[in-house]
Amino acid sequence: MQTADENEYVIEEFRPIRHDLLAAGLHAETGDPHRVAGDPRLLAWLRVDGERIGVLAFDEVAAPAERLSTLAGFTQDLVVENVFTDGRSFTWPRCLDRSHRHPMVVVLDDGRALWRCPRDAGLAVSIGELGA
């Protein structure tokens, strides 16, 4: 059973990632937080453009940057596997260097959760600041 506090927690934790999805033209939300016996994490559905595409796991005991990077990684996997445009997998988040066709990768760097180009470590942006 979900509580108002759990729902608010899920919304707040997802806010930076939602911002980055919106920067790519995707409307995303999380909802229906719930727990499963034997799993200490809080789980919630991810919806993109109104479609449920999978479940996100929220690790409430990890450090903030670790929580954000883990959640961003889960979200990226679900988007790449389940969101398509013109019959092709949606590249998200697209590399800051538009000549690159790959998505950026999640990294933890000096206590910060970042999206980083897998080819050029100098191309990076904090999660939650794409398009800012």
pTM above 0.85, yes or no: yes
Decide: 72 and 17 in contact? Cβ < 8 Å. yes
Over the stretch 75-128, which tens digit does the pLDDT of each residue have?
Answer: 999 999 999 988 888 999 999 998 999 999 999 999 999 999 999 999 999 999
pLDDT, tens digit (0-9, with 9 covering 90-100), for 57-86: 999 999 999 999 999 999 999 999 999 988
DSSP collapsed to 3 states, 42-93: EEEEEEECCEEEEEEEECCCCCHHHHHHHHHHHHHHHHHHHCEECCEECCCC
